[in-house]
Amino acid sequence: MRQKILIVSDSHGNHKYLKKAIQNMGTYLDLLIHLGDSQTDPDVIAGMVNCPVEMVRGNSDGLSKLPGTKLVDLGLHRALLTHGHRYGGRYGIPMMKEMAKENGADIVMFGHIHEPLLEQEDGMTVLNPGSISQPRQEGHRPTYMVMTIEEDGRAEYATIYMD
C-alpha cells in the first residue's frame, strides 16, 4: 500500500505554514515526522493530524521529554531521525550516516540548518526538509518534504516550496 509521509522541521512555535502543509496533503497523510525545534507541546502537533506523529527534540525545545534521536521503520526502509545540532548540522552528515548504518538505517533525516537538502548515494539517503517557518536558503520560502513509499517499497522524495 502506498504511503505519504510529511516531513517538517524548525517550526519554532509558528504553525501557519505547518497547518498549510498538512492541508496540502489532504486525506493522503499516513505519518507526520517533525525533526525538532517545534517549540510546541507534542500533543498540539499530534492534534493537527489524523495520523501517527514521530518527533525528536531540537536545540530550541528546552526541557522537552522527546528523544534526541529515534529510529523509525518506514515500509522497507529504516530512518534515523535527529535534529542534527549535536552533530554539527551539515558538517555532521558523515557522523549521522555512520550512526544510521550502525543501526541498520538507510535514511538520515535531520533539521537544524533551515535549508532543504537531499542527497542519495551508496544506498543512503540524507535529507533535511528545511524550515517550515524560518527558512534561510535563497528566496527564504518555507519548505517541507513529502516522502512517498510506493507499493514496491521504493521511496521518492519531493521538496515543497511554499508561498
Question: In whole numbers, what is the pLDDT of the chain averaged over residues?
Answer: 97
pLDDT(1) > 90:
no
pLDDT digit string, tens, across residues 24-38? 999 899 999 999 999
Q: Copy the grid coordinates of residue 38.
A: 517545534
d(CA 11, CA 142): 10
Q: Which residues contact 140 (CB under 8 A, 6 or more apart)?
A: none
pLDDT digit string, tens, across residues 84-141? 999 999 999 999 999 999 999 999 999 999 999 999 999 999 999 999 999 999 999 9
Q: Which residues contact 91 (CB under 8 A, 6 or more apart)?
A: none
Q: What pLDDT, on a 0 to 100 scale, did the predictor assign at position 84?
A: 97
d(CA 67, CA 135): 24
How many Cα atoms within 13 Å fall on the side-chain side of residue 11? 26
Q: Residue type for 30, please?
A: D
pTM as predicted? 0.98
Q: What pLDDT, on a 0 to 100 scale, did the predictor assign at position 47?
A: 97
Residue in the block written with cell 517499497: 153
Give how far the C-alpha of residue 40 lies from the chain's centroid of Cα atoms, to the nearest Å. 16
pLDDT(83) > 90:
yes
| Backbone angle region of 108, left / alpha / beta, with phi > 0 → left and psi within -120 to 50 → alpha | beta
Average pLDDT over residues 9-26: 97
Q: Which residues contact 132 (CB under 8 A, 6 or more apart)?
A: 8, 9, 10, 11, 17, 18, 21, 142, 143, 144, 162
Percent of the chain residues topping a pLDDT of 70: 100
Backbone angles phi, psi at 72, to 5 degrees: -135, 130
